[in-house]
Structure 1
Amino acid sequence: MLRRFIPLLFGLLLICAGGVVALAWTTCRIAVPEDMCAVLTRKMGAALPEGQNIATEPGQKGIQEAVLGPGRHWRIPLWWDWRLVPLTVIPSGDPNTWNWKPSLDDAQIEALKHKELTFRGEFPRIGVVTRKVGPDSESVIVERGSKQKGIWREVLTPGVYKINPEIYDVQLFPATVIPAGFVGVVTNMFGDTPAGYRVIAAGSAAEAGSPAPAEPAAPMEGDDAQDDDGPAGDAPQLRLAQPLAEPGERGVLRDVLQPGVYFINPKLQKVTLVEIGYNEFSQTEFADEESLSISFPSDTGYTIRVGVTVIWGIHPRHAAEIINDFGNIDRVLAKIIGPQLRSICRNIGSTYSARDFIQGEKRELFQRDLTAELRRVCNQKNVEVLLALVREIEVIAPHAAPGEGEVTEDLKRTIQQSYIAIENQITKEKQREAAAVRAKLEEERKKIEIVRETIKAQTRVMVADIDAEAQKDAAQIDAQAELEVATVQQQVAELDAQRVEILGRARTDVEKMKKSAEAEGYRLLVDAFGSPAAYNLYTFAQNFQPESIRLFFAGEGTFWTDLSRLEDAGAARLLDPRAEGRP
C-alpha cells in the first residue's frame, strides 16, 4: 500500500524543490553587471552605536562597508537590502595622444605662472580618496588601512575599483606630468617644521648669500604681497626662511622629479614645474613696468642709457633651492637678476667715459666686465648666467633738453670721424703692405718657374741616362742568360748520353743474367730428375692438357660389342676428307 505513495511523495518533493529554487532565483539572486557594484544594507542584526551610520563590525545592522563586485550573488531579502552603484574608474589615458613639448610658448608660460598649465592629450588620472565615516584623526591625512576619517595618503592609480560611495568619496585629478626640459620641485604641505625655521629681513646678510643656518625660503601661501621690492630707503620687509625639508617634513624637498608621469596626491604634495636650460631676460617690459632701460652718469658727466639682455638659466640640482628661496621663477628675475643688473651697470658704467661707450673695444670690455660680475653675484644664489649682452647704448649730453640731441650727435660725429681717419690711415698702411707682399709674391713666383724648368731639364737628362744604363744592363743579362742556357743544354746532352749507355749496359747484363739463370735452372731440373729423358717426360706431362679423352676397346669381341660406336665411326668416316677416293 505504501509503495503506491512513494512515487507521489517523490514527485511532491521535486515540485517543492523546484519551487524553492525558482523562489530563490527570483528573490534571492543579486545580478551585478560588469560596470556596477552592490552596496548591502543589513536589515537585522546588532544595533549601531549612537552617532554611527555605517556598520563597521560583522553582524551590525545598517549599511555594510564591503560591497559586492560584478557577478551573481545570493542574499535573503528578508535580511538584506541592496542597491547598485557604478564602479569607480580611474582613466589610464592614451599615450598616442600625448603632446610632449621641449619648450613652452608664451601662452603656456603665462598659464604656468597661474598654475593653470595643461598639456594636450589624454593623460592618466588619479583618484584621491576621502573616508567620510569613522573616528576622527589627529591629522587630515590618514593611512589607507586605517578606519579613521580623513584623506588617504595613497592615491588610486589608473584602474577599476569597488568603492562604497556611502563611506568613501573619490575625486579625480590629473596625474603630475613633467615634460621634457623641465623638472618638478616637490613641496610637502603637511609634516613637521624643519629645524632652523626663522624670520629674516629681506636684503639682510642671510639673504645676500652669507653662511647662515637657513637659506631664505619662499613665504607660505597668502604672503605674496610681501615679496615685492619697495623703493630705496624703505624699512626692511620680513620674510620667512627655512632650509630644505627632509622626507616627512613640511617644505620644499631637495630631490626633484625628472621628466615623466607621476601619481602624486595633490592634497599632500604640490609640484612646481621649473624649466631647465637658458632663458632670455631683456630690459623692455617686466612686471607690468615700462621704461626699465638702465641709466647712469659716466665719469665725464654724460648720461648713459643702455639696454641689456641677459641669458640665464637654472641647473636641476639648484631648482629646489630656487623654489625654496623665491617661490617661483618670476621672483628670481625680480629679486636677483633685475636689481643686480641695474646695480652692476651703474657701478661699472660710472668708471667709463662717454667716448668709451661709443668705441667698439671699450663697449666689449664693458660687456665682459658686466657679464663676469653678474655671473659671480648670481652664482651665489644658484642662478647661472651665460651672457649679459649690451643691446643698445644711448649717450645723452649734460643739461640737454628732452628731444634735443645736437650735442650728443656732434660728439658721436667727432668720435666717428676721428675713428674713420684712423681706420683710413690703417687701411692705407695695410694696402702698402699688401702691395709689397704682392710684389714679393710675384718675384718668388718667377723664381719658382725658373727652378721648375731647371728641375724638368735635369729630370729629362737623368731619365735618358737611366734608360741607356737599363738597356745596357738588359742586353748583358740576356747574353749571360743565353750562355748559361747553352751550358745547361750541353750538360743535359752529356747526361742523356751517359743515361743511354748505362741503361743499354744494364739491359745487356740483365738479359745475360736471366739466360744464365734459366740455363742453370734447366740443369738443376735435369739433375733432379736423374736423366734428360725423365725431364722430358715431366715437361710433356706438364704441358699435356687434352680437352677430352675417349677410350675405344680394341681387343677381340663380338659385333654387338662395338655396335654402339658404329654410328660415331660412320659419322667420322663421312667427315674425314681423306676418305674421299677410297674404295
Structure 2
Amino acid sequence: MTQSLSPTPPRRMSWLAKGLLGLALLSAAAAAVLGVFIWWYVFRVEVGEDELLVLIRKSGKAIPTDLGQDFDDQVILYDQLVEAIARKTGETPDEVREGYKGIQLNVLTAGRYFPNPYSYERRVIKTTVIGPNEVGVLVRRYGRPLEFPKTVATEDDERGPVATVLEPGRHDINLLANEVQRFEMILVPEGHCGVVTLLSGDDPATPNTYTVEPGEKGVQRQTLPPGRHPYNPYLQKIDLVDLRSHKYDMLGDEAIYFPSNDSFEIELHGYIEWAIRPDRAAEVTVAYGDEDDILNKVVLPYVRSISRIQGSRMRTRDFIGKTRTTFQEHLLTELKKACWREGVDLKAVAITEVKIPSEIASLISAREQADQEIERSKNQIEEARAEVRLVEERERQDQNKQVGEARRGVVTVTKRSEQQKVVQVTQAERELEVARLNLEAAEKLASATRAKGRAEANVILFDYQARAEPLKMAVAAFGDGETYAQQFFLQKIAPAIQSILSNTEGPFADIFKQFQVFPGAASPASTASKGGSQ
C-alpha cells in the first residue's frame, strides 16, 4: 500500500522577520565600519623618522614587592626585573612583559603601530641627537643602586651614570627610563696635555704611587695630546697642564744672595727658562701641583741652593770677567741634572748682573783694568809675534814656490823626454810590426802563386792526358801505331778522292794494292814470282 506525498508549499517570510534581518545586517555593517574607524583612528600610532614610541602598560598585574631590596620601587620592566618576576611566578619573560604594569624598556622606531590604547599608554618621544662637539652621558633611572665607591654604572642592571659615553649622532633611547646629559668635549690646546684622573675603577696593584696603570682608579700615566677628546665627567677628571716654556726673572727681592769664598755678599740678577717634561707631566702635576707650585717647590729651591754652593767656592773678583761665564755654564749644567730628575726641563739660565760690595768694587775694578792692560800688552806682543811668524811664513812660501817651480821644470823636461822616448819606441815598434806584416803578406802571396802555378800545370797535364788516353786506346786497338796512322790517314783522305790517275807502281799505288788481295788468292807479287820461276 503506497501513500502519496504532496509537496508542501513554501512559507513566506513575514515582513517582521525581513525587517529584523535587515536591521541585523545594517547593525553588522555599522559595527564593522565603526570597528575599522576605531582601529584606524584610535588604535593607530604613526611614528616619524626622528621619533620613538614608548609603551606603558596600564592594566595587568602589579610588580611583586617581595622580590628583594634590589627591586624596590621599580616601575620599568628591564631584563633583570623581568627575569626575577618570571623566576618567582613561573611565567615566561614574554608573559611577564605582556601581563604586568610598568614602562616597557624597549622602544619602537619609525613606523605604524596599533597598540591597544586601553591596555597601554602610548607616548611618542624624540630621538636623542648628540652634537658634533658634544658627548652624551646616559643616566639610568632603573636598577640597583651603585655600590660605594663606584661613581658610574658598569653593569646592565646598575642605576646611575653609565661609563660608556654617547658619541655624536642619533641614538634611540627611552627617555622615560633614562636621562641623557650633554657635555662639551674637552679641548686640549696646543702646547698642553690633559692629565686624566679615573674616578672609578680597579684598585691600584701598586698602592702609594703618583700614577697608576690603565683601568686603575687614580691619575693615569698616559696623558691626552692636543685636540678634542670625549670624556665622561662622572668617570674622568681632566686637568690641563701647560708644557710650554716659562720664564722667571730673578730681580729685586727675587735676586739670589750668598757669601763668596772670601766672605763678601754677592747679589745675582738674571732669569731662568723651564718647562714640564711631557713624559712625566702626570707625575709632576700630582707630586707638586700647578706651574706656580713647580716653580716654588722645585725650580727656585734648586736655583738658590746650587747657586750658593757654586758661588761660595769662588772669590769675589771671580764674578767679574770671564770667570762669570764659567760660573754660569757650571750653574746651568748642575741645574739641568737636578731638575731633570724631578720631571722639569731647565732650558736656560742667564746671569745678567752681579753686584758686589762697593768697598771692594773699585779695587777689583782697578785690578781688572790692570789685568786688562796686561792682557792688552800680551795681545800686542802676541800680535807682533804673529806678524813675525806671518813674514816668515810668507818667505817660506815664496821659497817653496821657487823650489816648486824649479821642480816642476825638471819634472816637465823629464816628462817630455819620457814622452818622446815612448813616442819613438812606439813608432819603431809600429814600423817593425808593419814590416813583419808585409813579410807575412809576401810569403802568403808567393805561396799562393806557387799553388796557382801547380794548379795550372796540373790542368794542362790533365788536359793532355785526357786527349792522349783515347789515342792510346785507339792505337792499342789497331795493334801498333803505324797501322793506326795509316787508318787515320785513310779516314781523312778517302772522302776527298774522286778519281785516281797514277802509276801502278810506287808508294801511293801501294795503298790501293792491298785492297786487291782477296782471301785465298795469291798476291800479284807472289804470282809474278811463281811465273818467273816457271
Question: In which range does the TM-score fall when normalised by the shorter chain?
Answer: 0.5 to 0.7
Structure 1 counterpart of 2:328, one-letter code? Q
Distance in 1, Cα, partners of 2:414 & 2:259: 86
- Alpha-carbon offset, residue 155 of structure 1: 1.6
Aligned to 1:455: 404
CA distance in 2, matches of 1:76, 1:515: 142
Partner AA of 2:383 in structure 1: A
Q: Answer yes or no: is the 8 Å Cα contact 2:153–2:159 preserved in 1.
A: no
1:465-518 CA-partner distances (Å, limit 9, x unpaired)? 543564466456545644653464355335323322321321331454366458
Q: What residue is the counterpart of 1:265 in the other structure?
A: 232
Q: Which residue of 2 aligns with 1:437?
A: 386
Q: Which of these residues, 248, 256, 267, is aligned with residue 305 of structure 1?
A: 267
Matched, 1:152 2:114: no
- 42, 47, 51: which one aligns with 2:57: 42
Q: 1:148 to 1:474 in 2, by over 3 A?
A: closer
Matched residues in 2 for 1:87 and 1:513: separation? 126
Native 8 Å contact 2:152 2:234 kept in 1: no
8 Å Cα contact 2:151-2:199 kept in structure 1:
no
Q: Counterpart in 1 of 2:352? A: 391
> Residue 280 in 1 paired to residue 320 in 2?
no
If each structure's helix is expressed as a fraction of its own residues, which one has the higher value?
2
Query: Does the 8 Å contact 1:307/1:390 carry over to 2?
Result: yes
Separation in structure 2 between the aligned mates of residue 247 and residue 491 of structure 1, nearest angstrom:
98
The answer as to 2:404 corresponding to 1:364 is no
Aligned pair in 2 of structure 1 residues 366, 75: CA closer, same or farther (>3 Å)? Answer: same
TM-score (normalizing by structure 2): 0.66
Q: Is residue 196–residue 243 contact of structure 1 (8 Å, CA) maintained in 2?
A: no
Name the structure 2 match of 1:88: 128
Question: Which of residues 444, 464, 474 in structure 2 aligns to 1:495?
Answer: 444
How far the C-alpha of 1:161 sits from its partner, in A, is 0.9
The correspondence for 1:169, drawn from 149, 156, 179, is 179
SS of the equivalent of 2:232 reads coil
**1:402-459 per-position Cα deviation (integer Å, ceiling 9, x unaligned):** xxxxxx2x74444334323322222222222222322332233234323423432453
Report the count of equivalent residues.
Answer: 425
**Residues 14, 509 of structure 1: CA spacing in aligned structure 2 closer, same or farther, 3 A cutoff?**
farther
Contact 2:48 2:111 in 1 (8 A): yes
**Structure 1 residues 475, 17: closer, same or farther in 2, change over 3 A?**
farther
- C-alpha distance in 2, partners of 1:299/1:519? 144
Determine the C-alpha separation between the residues in 1 that align with 2:303 and 2:283. 21
C-alpha distance 510-259 of structure 1, shift in aligned 2 (>3 A): farther
Contact 1:130-1:170 within 8 A present in 2 as well: yes
Shift of 1:256: 3.7
Query: Does structure 1 conserve the Cα–Cα contact (< 8 Å) formed by 2:152 and 2:235?
Result: no
Deviates more, 1:475-484 or 1:154-163: 475-484
- Counting only pairs closer than 5 Å after superposition, residues 16-415 of structure 1 correspond to structure 2 as 24-48=39-63, 51-56=73-78, 57=82, 58-59=97-98, 60-91=100-131, 93=132, 124-139=133-148, 141-143=151-153, 145-178=155-188, 181-190=191-200, 214=208, 244-245=211-212, 250-258=217-225, 261-276=228-243, 279-283=246-250, 291-298=253-260, 302-346=264-308, 348-350=310-312, 352-357=314-319, 359-368=320-329, 370-371=331-332, 374-375=335-336, 377-378=338-339, 381-395=342-356, 397=357, 408=358, 411-415=360-364
Q: Which amino acid counterpart does residue 168 of structure 2 have in structure 1?
A: P
Q: Is the 8 A contact 2:245 2:274 kept in 1?
A: yes
What is the one-letter code of the residue matched to 1:125? E
| Counterpart Cα distance in 1 of 2:308 and 2:446 | 120
The answer to whether structure 1 residue 427 and structure 2 residue 376 are counterparts is: yes
Alignment of 1:555-574 (within 5 A): none
Label 1:191 to 1:329 Cα distance change in 2 as closer, same or farther (>3 A): farther
Where do 5+ consecutive residues of structure 1 fail to align? Answer: 1-11, 94-123, 198-213, 215-241, 285-289, 398-407, 528-583
Q: Which moved more, 1:158-167 or 1:384-393?
A: 384-393
Aligned AA (1:46): K
Query: Are 2:210 and 2:287, in contact at CA under 8 Å, matched by a contact in 1?
Result: no
SS at match of 1:456: helix
Partner of 1:287: none
CA contact (8 A) 1:39 1:67 kept: yes
Identity across aligned pairs (percent)?
Answer: 32
- Stretches of structure 2 that go unaligned for 5 or more consecutive residues are 1-26, 66-72, 83-96, 477-534
Root-mean-square deviation (Å): 4.2
Task: Indicate the structure (1 or 2) with the bigger Cα radius of gyration.
Answer: 2
